[in-house]
Amino acid sequence: MSILSGISFFKSPSKAILLDMLVQQSSQLKEEILRLKKEKDVVILAHNYQIPEVQDVADFTGDSLGLSRQAATVPQKTILFCGVNFMAETAAIISPEKKVLLPDTEAGCSLSDSITVDELRNWKKQHPGAIAVGYVNTTAEIKAELDYCCTSSNAVNVVKAIPEDKEILFLPDMFLGSFVAKMTGRKNIHIWAGECHVHAGITPEDVNKKLESLNDSELVIHPECGCTTPFMYDVADGSFDNSKVSILSTEGMLKHVTESKSKNFVVATETGILHRMKQDNPEKTFVPASEKAECQYMKMIDLQKVHDALVHETNVVTVPKEIADKARLAIDRMLAIS
């Protein structure tokens, strides 16, 4: 036996032991989290992009709209929000009487960073009388400047609810904005040129490659994707089968793949969503349009941080009252429509 093969012989059992220890540690943490949340009467909300272990300890997993609704209606006085900063802020705005904890306050969002309050105020000045519609992926300060908030699942309905003659400023996501303009046929809509680096990175080439590799597959796309626009046009001009492509929010995607008769799906969004898709539909096949589509902010939260947030109840997300009161108007208008 060579020295090298001897090393690998000794290495492999220690790797296995290490893995075993990690699994044990993770299941102990999981048990402790479940015990603590019950003892402290805390509800855990997790976005569909969270790592599988975190989704598995949550009371509710969902999209931005679904989690906002849950935050507003759950009886618990403390919400542990496993998502990114703007989501926890939205929960704090909707339920000012509740304590909202974010396991890692550094969990931001490149899309919400793509517009500042000063930029929005200047844009509004250039279009007096226009209605400002902003995606939920915005800071509380931006929301306080909006007329309407929207999420990926209700953006079309929110825009449809605005009188035809009113100019609209749609922000900050240009792909969602162009999807909404196309779906509503609206010409007087101005779109901010912001994007999410994760979704913008999913290209039509990525999607086509995966569609070719998976026979008879359906395509589900999040409207924040850079690949959304060409596929929308393909569907519109008949070069792609309409029934085989759906542009949906993350929760809309989960519902769709469960209800569809298709067995194979190419999924164009952050890869975290595949966990629940596979869990809910073990007999179906799901492949990500791009394995690289991982949001590093969503992935900042792990079981240890969830545990620590439950123990110490630090990392409380608060929004100053004057900002929250204004932002709540835009969020409430959205919730009333959808």
User: Is residue 249 part of the contact set for ligand 13P (CB under 6 A)?
Assistant: yes
Residues 24-83 within binding reach of ligand SF4 (CB under 6 A): none
User: Is residue 228 part of the contact set for ligand 13P (CB under 6 A)?
Assistant: no
Determine the Cα–Cα distance for residues 294 and 209; give it in Å rounded to an integer: 19
From 224, 227, 267, 277, residue interacting with ligand 13P (rule: CB under 6 A) = 224
User: Is residue 109 part of the contact set for ligand SF4 (CB under 6 A)?
Assistant: yes
Residue 249 contacts which entry, ligand SF4, ligand 13P, none (Cβ below 5-8 A, type-dependent): ligand 13P
Number of CB atoms found within 10 A of residue 164's CB:
10
At 151, the amino acid letter reads: T
User: Is residue 301 part of the contact set for ligand SF4 (CB under 6 A)?
Assistant: no
Determine the Cα–Cα distance for residues 61 and 63; give it in Å rounded to an integer: 7
User: Is residue 110 part of the contact set for ligand SF4 (CB under 6 A)?
Assistant: yes
Residue 297 contacts which entry, ligand SF4, ligand 13P, none (Cβ below 5-8 A, type-dependent): ligand SF4
User: Pattern 179-218, binding to ligand SF4, x per CB under 6 A?
Assistant: -----------------x-xx-------------------
The Cβ-side half-sphere exposure at 288, using a 13 Å CA radius, reads: 18
What phi-psi label fits residue 185: left (phi over 0), alpha (psi between -120 and 50 degrees) or beta?
left
Query: Is 95 or 151 the residue whose CB approaches ligand 13P more closely?
Result: 151
User: Is residue 145 part of the contact set for ligand 13P (CB under 6 A)?
Assistant: no
User: Is residue 63 part of the contact set for ligand 13P (CB under 6 A)?
Assistant: yes
Whether the CB-CB separation of 314 and 99 falls below 8 Å is answered with no
User: Is residue 250 part of the contact set for ligand 13P (CB under 6 A)?
Assistant: yes
User: Is residue 228 part of the contact set for ligand SF4 (CB under 6 A)?
Assistant: no
Residue recorded with tokens 């949001």: 295
| Sign of the dihedral defined by the CA atoms of residues 18, 19, 23, 26, in that order | positive
Residues 6+ away with beta carbon under 8 Å from 249: 63, 64, 65, 151, 152, 153, 222, 223
Query: Is 63 or 104 the residue whose CB approaches ligand 13P more closely?
Result: 63
Residues 25-54 within binding reach of ligand 13P (CB under 6 A): 48
| Sign of the dihedral defined by the CA atoms of residues 321, 323, 324, 330, in that order | positive
Whether the CB-CB separation of 36 and 307 falls below 8 Å is answered with yes
Residues 103-142 within binding reach of ligand 13P (CB under 6 A): 137
User: Is residue 270 part of the contact set for ligand SF4 (CB under 6 A)?
Assistant: yes
Whether the CB-CB separation of 227 and 207 falls below 8 Å is answered with yes
User: Is residue 90 part of the contact set for ligand SF4 (CB under 6 A)?
Assistant: no
Residue 85 contacts which entry, ligand SF4, ligand 13P, none (Cβ below 5-8 A, type-dependent): none
User: Is residue 55 part of the contact set for ligand 13P (CB under 6 A)?
Assistant: no
User: Is residue 196 part of the contact set for ligand 13P (CB under 6 A)?
Assistant: yes
Determine the Cα–Cα distance for residues 293 and 109; give it in Å rounded to an integer: 14
Q: Residues interacting with ligand 13P, by CB under 6 A?
A: 48, 63-64, 137, 151-152, 196, 224, 249-250
